[in-house]
Amino acid sequence: MIETSLPAIAVVVSFMALLYAIILIAWIVRKPRGDSKMQEIAQAIQDGAKAYLNRQFLTVGILAVIIFLIIAFVIPAGDYNVGVWMAVGFGVGALFSGIAGYIGMNVSVRANVRTANAAKKSLQSALSVAFKGGAVTGMAVVGLSLLGVSGFYIIFTKVVGMPAQVAANTLIGFGFGASLISLFARVGGGIFTKAADVGADIVGKVEAGIPEDDPRNPAVIADNVGDNVGDCAGMGADLFETYAVTLIAAMILAASTLTDTLGTMGIEYPLALGSIAVIASIIGTFFVKLGKKQNIMGAMYKGMLVTGLLSAIGFYFATDYLLGDVYIFLASLVGLGITLFITIITEYYTSTSYKPVKMIAKSSETGAGTNIITGLAVGLKSTVLPVILILVGIFLAYYFGENSPSVANGVYGIAIAAIAMLSTTGMVIATDSYGPITDNAGGIAEMAGLPEKVRKNTDALDSVGNTTKAVTKGYAIGSAALAALVLFQAYKEELIKNVTGGEEFIFDISDHRVLIGLFIGGLLPFIFSASTMQSVGKAAYTVVEEVRRQFKTIPGIMTGKAKPEYGKCVDIVTRAALREMVFPGILAVSAPILVGFILGPLALGGMLAGVIIVGLLLAIQMCTGGGAWDNAKKYIEDGNHGGKGSEAHKAAVVGDTVGDPFKDTSGPALNALIKVINTVALIIAPMIAGYTIWSL
């Protein structure tokens, strides 16, 4: 029967994705690495990135072991030893998430020098290397995520003998492991990359007046390392958990509400969509090629459009065959539509081609103050259209799900829309990871003294990379919002299943418990963002002091006769990132536990609603505003408003410095915060149903 084979098909497809990643790796490493100077610089970046990730995984690994033991011994075993299996899932989810990021980072730091060397030949050659390097991360993420979810589902149902409903709920352990690693990767990587970037810019660009990626800057290697550990490994882990958690949330929801009407089909149907999307993403990568106009962003759009179109065609036939229900197919189209329009909206606010970025650049003529004011305004305004888009998407997906003859469940329609939105994950991550590769390629070209035409090609690639990174963050945040809604509903269903008094759990804001939770949830993104931004500031301060020290105490740096001590800056930001990522991680895990057990399930429900709404708005404002600040600086550097070295450029550098922790640390990490809190709430729901320490 096709129904029983869907998880097995998903496993096969996941191996296809991983095999394709291996083929891409083999193609990339065969490309020439350039001259000895280029290789020396690339090796320094590799060593720094590897050292940081190794230390990060060691630190997080200790915490993961503790959580593994807590889950194994605290979660009730039940008839199928659920607690132990949930703990195993947690461990594997954390491991797979780390592996996906590690693979992507290791390929990224090898593709950068090969991209710089390919830029000697042509823009297309450089684009091909950079994009395929990014595609490795994309394929690793979707392959390992789909493998973990479908593989564990098969183990739980076929080997352990769990009913499908129990198996679906047990999968949340895998999602929690992925979410936790995502949080630490985002926070730690974000602190690393922005502390190095800010430190390098303040002393290098503003004080010393030297160009970006100048080899005389002691922080330049740390800055290039940060691009990889933050934007590559961090984003990889982020979308890994988003992809996995969304699949799991949909399966849990189906297990709670649809088994009487659809049997296991409602649970396994999301795996079919995931499998189709992976194949579509693989095919889509072959369409990323420059046309006659040499439009790099256009090449990216071709790949994404092909992926989306093929996914839609596959969704139609799969839905018709498995469910015979056009309404659920329409719900999937809603998700694809959100992906398309959120990409367009984000590009509008962050690309140098449109008014918002040009407006920030123009304001820089009157100083850093007006630059920052305008950038903040653009960031705040950028929340309007994405939120309206998400709300329309929620309405339509709910409508199609509610009116579906086979499902008749509005929230399941939202879940399918979220899965469809994530159908392009492989392609989206490819375009995102392309960004740090091209950024590093430009840095290597600058430091190795390559001809101007090479730097022109890498700058063109890098400028688009800033936009693709901003688009990816918008995409991740939008999908997180839909996934969080599904997780919220799954939390409610778990409470209903485990309560003994027949309580319906209506989250009414007139109930003081819900209202208290709502305010706590709304407060958490601000506490979290303040902590992560302050961490960047503290780490950047130490980098600034170190760079200033080296400029003063090492004669010959500015004349190029002496080599800076790059390793000291790398070590400073590594230690700072690992130290500062602990509190945000503890906050995300402990908050739902404390609220749930002390104030009760209704207060926790209110907290989930608060963190979803406020976290979504704050994340969009930070990510989009930060991206706009960054490209406003690059717009000036392209020769507008006085160009490099002008007063407008100095003001734009300050604005970009403010925006850096917005777009690469706090903003993206809010995505992980939302998911971690909702996932922990879902895990503890059976234990807090009908129970509270403080009876209000």
Cα–Cα distance measured from residue 156 to residue 379, given in angstroms and rounded to the nearest whole number: 45
pLDDT over 70, % of the chain: 96
CB 406 within 8 A of CB 254: no
Q: Kindly state the average pLDDT of the residues 45-67.
A: 82
Residue 205 pLDDT grade (very low, low, confident, very high; cuts 50, 70, 90): low
Please count the other Cβ atoms lying within 10 Å of the Cβ belonging to residue 287.
16
CA dist list (Å): 509 to 2, 486, 600: 45, 20, 15
Residue 607 pLDDT grade (very low, low, confident, very high; cuts 50, 70, 90): very high
Cα–Cα distance measured from residue 650 to residue 185, given in angstroms and rounded to the nearest whole number: 31
Read off the pLDDT of residues 557-578 as tens digits, 9 standing for 90 and up. Answer: 877 778 888 888 888 888 888 8
Cα–Cα distance measured from residue 120 to residue 457, given in angstroms and rounded to the nearest whole number: 8
Cα–Cα distance measured from residue 157 to residue 169, given in angstroms and rounded to the nearest whole number: 12
Q: Kindly state the average pLDDT of the residues 477-489.
A: 84
Position 3 scores a pLDDT of: 46
Read off the pLDDT of residues 527-550 as tens digits, 9 standing for 90 and up. Answer: 999 999 888 888 888 888 888 888
Cα–Cα distance measured from residue 498 to residue 501, given in angstroms and rounded to the nearest whole number: 9
Position 443 scores a pLDDT of: 81
Angle made by CA atoms 668, 94, 74, in degrees to the nearest 5: 110
H-helix segments, 512-646: 512-553, 566-580, 582-599, 601-637
Residue at token pair 């592996």: 99
CB 161 within 8 A of CB 146: no
* Closest-CA residue to 25 (of 110, 98, 115, 147): 110
CB 68 within 8 A of CB 90: yes
- On the CB side of 481, CA atoms within 13 Å amount to 26
Residue 215 pLDDT grade (very low, low, confident, very high; cuts 50, 70, 90): confident
Q: Kindly state the average pLDDT of the residues 518-533.
A: 94
Find the distance separating the first CA and the last CA of the chain, reported in whole Å.
52
Full DSSP string of 157-220: IIIS---HHHHHHHTHHHHHHHHHHHHHHHHHHHHHHHHHHHHHIIIIIIII-PPTT-TT-TTH
Which amino acid is it at 460? A
